[in-house]
Structure 1
Amino acid sequence: MWASKRPGPPAGGPQKKLVIKGLKALPILPSSYRDDTLSRLRNAVHAILENQPTTQGLEELYRDCEAMCLHKFANSIYEMLQQELKEYVHKQLSQIDKAQEALGSEEKVLEQTQQFWENYTQQLHMIRSVFLYLDRTYALHTANVASLWAMGLSVVRQYLVDSNMRTRLVRLFIGRVKNERDGQIVDEQTLASIAHMFIDLGLYTQTLLPNFIDATRDYYRRESLRLINSLVPLQQSTNADRGAQTSSAMNVPGYLAHVQHRLDEETQRAAQYLDPSIKSTLLATILSELIQKHAEKLLGSSFDAMMDANLVSDLNRLYKLVIPVDKLNALQKSWSAYIKTTGQRKMQLPDAEVTLVSGLLEFKSKLDNILNNAFQSDGKLHSALREAFEIFINTRRNKPAQLIARYVDQYMRTGSKTDDEQKMDAYLNRIIALFRFIQSKDLFEAYYRRDLSKRLLSAKSVAMDAESAFLHKLRTECGAGYTSQLEGMLRDMEVSDELATALSQATVESTISDIGFHANILTMSFWPTYEPIELALPRQVEAVQDQFAQFYAERHRGRNLQWQYNLGTCLIKVEFNEGPKELQMNQIQGTVLLLFAEQDELTYTQIQQNTGLEDSELQRTLQSLACGKFRVLTKEPKSRDVSTTDKFVFNSGFKCPQARIKISQIAVKEIEKESKEIEEHIHLDRMYRVDAALVRIMKARKTLEHDKLSSELLNQIDFNVAAAELKERIETLLERDYIRRDDSNQSTYHYIA
């Protein structure tokens, strides 16, 4: 009943009010109202479930449901719906289940279940629309009463749980996936619908997922055993050949490609008809069976062969597969073992001294390429590379240092001439990377200093920029103290060039410019030690030398010059019958040859009297001029050795197609002698450093056992010390009363203050 205010009398007058009163008695419903309405609603539910049109309109049915709820009959409607849905679900699912059992075939169970589920969910949506008022009032506000949608799903779930159909559907689902894994074509839409049904019913994580994972584990366990037991040795074939391998003849790269293919399949499967949340568990299960349980066998059987064949893409696949299963340590172990084994084999080759450094550079470049591109610059594998390389390269102790220094010398003489700046820098970086692994860095410095001095003094270094760049890299690697003498040598050459320019400007009209005299001023503390040789110079050369000495004394008072004739070089123009030739030789050879400018024939004794050379040096010089490849002198009697009774004649008939000829000095065992002297000097220096380190340690510790003393010593020095050498140095300190043995324990030492 509605009430409203009517216009009243003018303002100030009395106003009338309408009062609304409730009914004195509730309207009385017909006695059959509940049953009749409930019957109409039941018939509508039947029609919806049978996909038939309802006799009443949906809006009218909605009003009936609303009226029943207002008259407190909501519970009756809810129970009716629950009962009807139970009967319908039981009827439909039991027909599917029993029909296939009777026929003995299960091919259509999943499809029919899918069809039932799609129809049922649509019907449930329609029913919920009709009974929406019931769902939003009674079901929502009554405890322990589920919504209509949840109730409809619970009916299906309960039937599947109570019967064997749940287990059957899971088994059929897994079987259908197995068929797809075996290469058969399956209806993915059906599998997706069944999976979503289990998810909606809340049976996915309890029933389908555990059984599916267990079946997956068993499937790939069987497959891995079959494939692993039939692996064939790796053949260095092309990628196309490896890709065409069959499962019955599969090598490790093919197996890894197969595993990746399986992972891609399962990833796609999880996206198409499984819940995406299963992806991580599914892939972890596959990797566990195919990789984790067989990682050691895969690495042990073919890792070395894959490395030898430089199969970067396959190694990258291996790395990506072992990371998720926590098998990086196994890969690191195989990686380290391969580097050590291959490196030691290279170090023991018969011609190792000839090709060792180039082979190691190539090997290091190959390892770096694999580390960066296959192993994604993994930190652990990078550390393993550095440790393994350092172990095998130092198995020959001092030899790698000598060979690397010699290799750098060869590059500076020839290789750096053709390389541009960028290529040169990259190449020097590779050499520094190799240098970083050797422990005898002090020995390398000694050899490099010897070779650098020869290059600078003989002008054989084709690129001074390369020399400076390499020294800069050495200084960055080892500190300024390591390269101080080497850098001093380069500065000496620069100062010598500046001095030569100043000398030429100050003595324009002198014989210096005519002869082409150039002197290098070497600081003795920077350069290797050279033994001076007594030599009587030709008059014109001696005059130029005196003039330079006077010029130098005027500019630098208090400095003494010591001439090293064995380091000097000269270029002499000689007239032969064939024509003029330019002979490039050392200063001693040039001094001897100039004697024949005045006399064509001289005896050994005359030559020695005019030069003042000792027999050993003179014999080597005459042998290079008269018995070598270019014989500008002839010797009587003819033989390959020089004696004091020989006579030498200028060979005016000398012939050679070259206009400029380099005559080298005979260097019998000179290099071996220098190397032995360098190693002896370095060994002596090392022993001094060991003594100093031992004293420092004992002074700080006061008392220390032999093993701990040895351990601390190795931490303070950067070279290896043999146990016998260490024992000898300790005995020396005991004799010199720096330390003493403990009275009760001979392996314990005490520092004597």
Structure 2
Amino acid sequence: MAPAAMSGLMPAQPVKDDIDNTWQYVQSGITRIMTNLQGGVDMGTYMGIYTAVHNFCTSQKAVGISAVSNISTGQSHRGAHLLGEDLYKKLTEYLTAHLKQLVVESRAHTDEALLAFYIREWHRYTVAAKYIHHLFRYLNRHWVKREMDEGKKQVYDVYTLHLVRWRDVLFAEVSGKVMDAVLKLVEKQRNGETIEYNQIKQVVDSFVSLGLDEGDSTKITLDVYRFHFERPFLDATKAFYQNESKQFVAENSVVEYMKKAEARLDEEEERVKMYLHPDIGIPLKKACNQVLIAEHSAILRDEFQVLLDNDREEDMARMYSLLSRIPDGLEPLRAKFEAHVRKAGLAAVAKVASDVDKLEPKVYVDALLEIHTQYQGLVKRAFTDEPEFTRSLDNACREFVNRNDVCKSGTNKSPELLAKYTDILLRKSSTGVEEAELENTLTQIMTVFKYIEDKDVFQKYYARMLARRLVHSNSSSDDAETSMISKLKEACGFEYTNKLQRMFQDMQISKDLNAGFKEHVAALSGPKGLDSSYSILGTGFWPLTAPNTTFDPPAEIDKDCQLFSRFYRNKHEGRKLTWLWQLCKGEVKATYIKNAKMPYTFQVSIYQMAVLLLFNEKDKITYEEIASTTQLNNEALDPSLNILLKAKVLNVSPEGAKPGPNATFGLNYDFKNKKFRVNLNVGMKSETKQEEAETNKTIEEDRKLLLQSAIVRIMKARKRMKHQQLVSETINQIRQRFVPKVSDIKKCIEILLDKEYLERLDDDDLGYLA
């Protein structure tokens, strides 16, 4: 540090080996530095003190030892050592006396005046210490260094000596009062008054500077700061907020208290940035969290249900933010949130499920989605998408999706209705849905699908409906179909969608085959009577069964079918075709109707076509004749006739008679319809119920096979297992497809024991038989 100008003259240099004379000379200069706020001295004074210290420390004279012997025995260093120690002691005594005087002066000050005094004197003292440290540089480099290297305690470089003396003399006396003044100032600020917070910052810096490492004087610790500042500051903070919060809660609502607590916590964080040491940040936050949140957590949690019931999103976000600051603060909220969402979901389903048989799939799925969307938004906005709240939402949704009024008695209604809604979306419709809107709706369907436990039920229904859409060319969009299958594949894996993808491949192969068939027919002699197309559907991939009735198709149809069969057998020798007549359809033109501006075109099933073509030969035909000619059983024939009667294409006599023996049918020549293309190929409710029954039956059968294969797979890998352990392992493997009943698993184990895939061993163990 460079010397500054100061008026006044120093006396002549003292005798260099006289400690009293030397110290008297040095002390006068130190006093001038100590009493001057700027701490500066002129160059002459600076060099005089520096030289005096140097001369004293390098003096060769020592009691009882000659200069020669000093040189020859190397005792000159010992002499410097002794003389340096004297000078060090004199400085120490001087600093102690100076600081004791400051202690006396400090007693005249209190509160902010004491702070001002302490800061002023600290500044003056530390600036002076830097000058004096420089003046005693030779002592530092030689005597102090040697003492410290030899492990001597209580020896420091001159600057550190100043800090130690301040700590042990003045600080020990006034630190408590200074801290009290600091705390009063902070309390004023907390009560809304404006304060000179820079004073507190300087006190903090002072306390930190006094944290000297006794083992290594070059290092600073925070021990003094933590004991004398941080600890009382935290205690005072707790006491202040305990009193304030207790009174505020008694006089205000919980929501108002949360706002107050939030504001107070923000203030304390700002306080750390403004004038506190960064080290206090974590313990201060912890202390505030304890008194402002943890001690009032019970009333906050009690209020959470009220906020949920009234959709107070902003207040819930505030409560989440507060309770997330304390250990396990959010767990009770998550439990209440889960119960609330489950209750809301069940209520939403109950509202639309007055008649399950008439329940529209869209209405049901929309009710589920509405609740999920509402509370997913709440989790995102109020609970910052926290994983545990998301898990609570998922648990609640899984409950109300799978166990609600519609799903009573263990039925598979949720996956069934979801599959039906998907079918409605993916079928061609007159309304027409925008591609982007359809994709968004399919994504929402996958949201509900995620919560479906019986995913195998959805798969069965979806596969049947997809098959009908593909066979009847009734898909709204191939891209949408592909997108949905991709989503299912991503959710459940390749195996889940393997058959669905193969169905698409079959349809593409069929298109190519039909193109080849048309070329083949064109090459034959004679005109082609029918415009036909055929779909070849792999038995193992399509959820379709052979018709449950015999059928003799009309001659025109039969001829074309025979032609195609020969063409196909030539291409694929050894393959057998099974005709799925119940899925065949076509169009017939009606030219017999009187007063028609143009011929009507009837869109009909193959069974209806067979019935109508009979009227090319006769006007009146009995039920028995129709049955005999078509070979249809009454289960297939009666629904077809009923639709023709209902549409008034046919008349029946006696009038009002139902299809059956003794009924005679005739064409209605006065048929009228607003459309010239009339769709008569509509399903009957009885057919739909029969299909559902068949689907449910195949689901049960497939589940048994799936359980058995899982059990065999587990036992093949493990060779030997406890019965209960095998049941648990089977549940874990199967639950991605459906949640199996323990009783069903036990039945499957018994079946495998009978089939000798497994054997019973000792201690309830089961063994695998290769």
Same fold judged by TM-score > 0.5? yes
Match of 1:154 in 2: 164
The answer to whether structure 1 residue 492 and structure 2 residue 506 are counterparts is yes
For residues 413 and 305 of structure 2, the distance between their equivalents in structure 1, rounded to whole angstroms, comes to 30
Match of 1:678 in 2: 695
Match of 2:206 in 1: 197
Gapped regions of structure 2 (runs ≥ 5): 1-12, 58-82, 212-223
Seen in structure 2, the aligned counterparts of structure 1 residues 634 and 32 have a Cα distance that, compared at 3 Å, is closer
For residues 131 and 496 of structure 1, the distance between their equivalents in structure 2, rounded to whole angstroms, comes to 104
Map Cα deviations across residues 160-218 of structure 1 (whole Å, 9 max, x no partner): 4553x321221221232233233322111111111112222333122111111222333
Select 1:582's aligned residue among 584, 601, 605: 601
For residues 582 and 749 of structure 2, the distance between their equivalents in structure 1, rounded to whole angstroms, comes to 42
Select 2:589's aligned residue among 549, 570, 573: 573
Map Cα deviations across residues 603-639 of structure 1 (whole Å, 9 max, x no partner): 5555545544434433322322232xx4334455654
Select 2:285's aligned residue among 283, 287, 299: 283
Seen in structure 2, the aligned counterparts of structure 1 residues 117 and 544 have a Cα distance that, compared at 3 Å, is same
CA contact (8 A) 1:316 1:373 kept: no
The answer to whether structure 1 residue 248 and structure 2 residue 264 are counterparts is no
SS of match in other structure, 1:585? strand
Map Cα deviations across residues 120-144 of structure 1 (whole Å, 9 max, x no partner): 4344445556665566666555554
Seen in structure 2, the aligned counterparts of structure 1 residues 477 and 189 have a Cα distance that, compared at 3 Å, is closer
Map Cα deviations across residues 342-364 of structure 1 (whole Å, 9 max, x no partner): 55555665528634434445555
> 5 Å matches for 1:520-669?
520-527=535-542, 528-575=544-591, 576=593, 577-580=595-598, 581-596=600-615, 604=623, 607-608=626-627, 611-627=630-646, 630-635=647-652, 639=656, 641-642=658-659, 644-646=661-663, 648-665=665-682, 667-669=684-686
For residues 451 and 601 of structure 2, the distance between their equivalents in structure 1, rounded to whole angstroms, comes to 45
Seen in structure 2, the aligned counterparts of structure 1 residues 280 and 465 have a Cα distance that, compared at 3 Å, is same
For residues 387 and 226 of structure 1, the distance between their equivalents in structure 2, rounded to whole angstroms, comes to 39
Select 1:70's aligned residue among 41, 52, 55: 55
Seen in structure 2, the aligned counterparts of structure 1 residues 313 and 489 have a Cα distance that, compared at 3 Å, is farther
For residues 573 and 486 of structure 1, the distance between their equivalents in structure 2, rounded to whole angstroms, comes to 35
CA contact (8 A) 1:357 1:407 kept: yes
> 5 Å matches for 1:653-732?
653-665=670-682, 667-691=684-708, 706-718=723-735, 719-726=738-745, 728-729=747-748
For residues 292 and 688 of structure 1, the distance between their equivalents in structure 2, rounded to whole angstroms, comes to 55
For residues 95 and 358 of structure 1, the distance between their equivalents in structure 2, rounded to whole angstroms, comes to 81
Seen in structure 2, the aligned counterparts of structure 1 residues 436 and 150 have a Cα distance that, compared at 3 Å, is same
Seen in structure 2, the aligned counterparts of structure 1 residues 52 and 255 have a Cα distance that, compared at 3 Å, is closer
Match of 2:239 in 1: 218
How far off its partner does 1:377 sit?
Answer: 6.6
Map Cα deviations across residues 106-128 of structure 1 (whole Å, 9 max, x no partner): 34332333333333434444555
For residues 728 and 127 of structure 1, the distance between their equivalents in structure 2, rounded to whole angstroms, comes to 96
Select 2:107's aligned residue among 66, 84, 97: 97
Match of 1:25 in 2: none
SS of match in other structure, 2:427? helix
Match of 1:468 in 2: 482
How far off its partner does 1:333 sit?
Answer: 5.3
Match of 2:269 in 1: 267
Select 1:445's aligned residue among 437, 459, 484: 459
For residues 702 and 381 of structure 1, the distance between their equivalents in structure 2, rounded to whole angstroms, comes to 41
For residues 59 and 648 of structure 1, the distance between their equivalents in structure 2, rounded to whole angstroms, comes to 138
How far off its partner does 1:371 sit?
Answer: 6.5
> 5 Å matches for 1:232-381?
248-251=252-255, 261-291=263-293, 298=300, 301-302=303-304, 305=307, 309=311, 311=313, 315=317, 318=320, 322=324, 325=327, 350-351=352-353, 354=361, 355-361=363-369
How far off its partner does 1:30 sit?
Answer: 7.9
How far off its partner does 1:294 sit?
Answer: 5.6
Seen in structure 2, the aligned counterparts of structure 1 residues 342 and 308 have a Cα distance that, compared at 3 Å, is farther
Match of 1:503 in 2: 517
For residues 114 and 468 of structure 1, the distance between their equivalents in structure 2, rounded to whole angstroms, comes to 77
For residues 747 and 275 of structure 2, the distance between their equivalents in structure 1, rounded to whole angstroms, comes to 77
How far off its partner does 1:733 sit?
Answer: 6.4
For residues 477 and 558 of structure 1, the distance between their equivalents in structure 2, rounded to whole angstroms, comes to 38
SS of match in other structure, 1:108? helix
For residues 461 and 19 of structure 2, the distance between their equivalents in structure 1, rounded to whole angstroms, comes to 113
Match of 1:109 in 2: 114
Seen in structure 2, the aligned counterparts of structure 1 residues 116 and 307 have a Cα distance that, compared at 3 Å, is farther
Seen in structure 2, the aligned counterparts of structure 1 residues 132 and 603 have a Cα distance that, compared at 3 Å, is same
For residues 596 and 759 of structure 2, the distance between their equivalents in structure 1, rounded to whole angstroms, comes to 78
Map Cα deviations across residues 424-453 of structure 1 (whole Å, 9 max, x no partner): 666555545644544433333322221112
Match of 1:237 in 2: none
SS of match in other structure, 1:98? coil
TM-score (norm 1): 0.77
Give the CA RMSD over aligned residues. 4.7
Match of 2:10 in 1: none
How far off its partner does 1:659 sit?
Answer: 3.8
Gapped regions of structure 1 (runs ≥ 5): 1-27, 101-105, 231-246
CA contact (8 A) 2:304 2:316 kept: no
CA contact (8 A) 2:711 2:730 kept: yes
For residues 289 and 41 of structure 2, the distance between their equivalents in structure 1, rounded to whole angstroms, comes to 60
Seen in structure 2, the aligned counterparts of structure 1 residues 529 and 219 have a Cα distance that, compared at 3 Å, is farther
Task: Identify which range, 492-501 or 700-709, moves more after superposition.
Answer: 700-709
For residues 633 and 269 of structure 1, the distance between their equivalents in structure 2, rounded to whole angstroms, comes to 91
For residues 475 and 53 of structure 2, the distance between their equivalents in structure 1, rounded to whole angstroms, comes to 109
Map Cα deviations across residues 668-687 of structure 1 (whole Å, 9 max, x no partner): 33222222222223223333
SS of match in other structure, 1:445? helix
Identity value in percent:
26
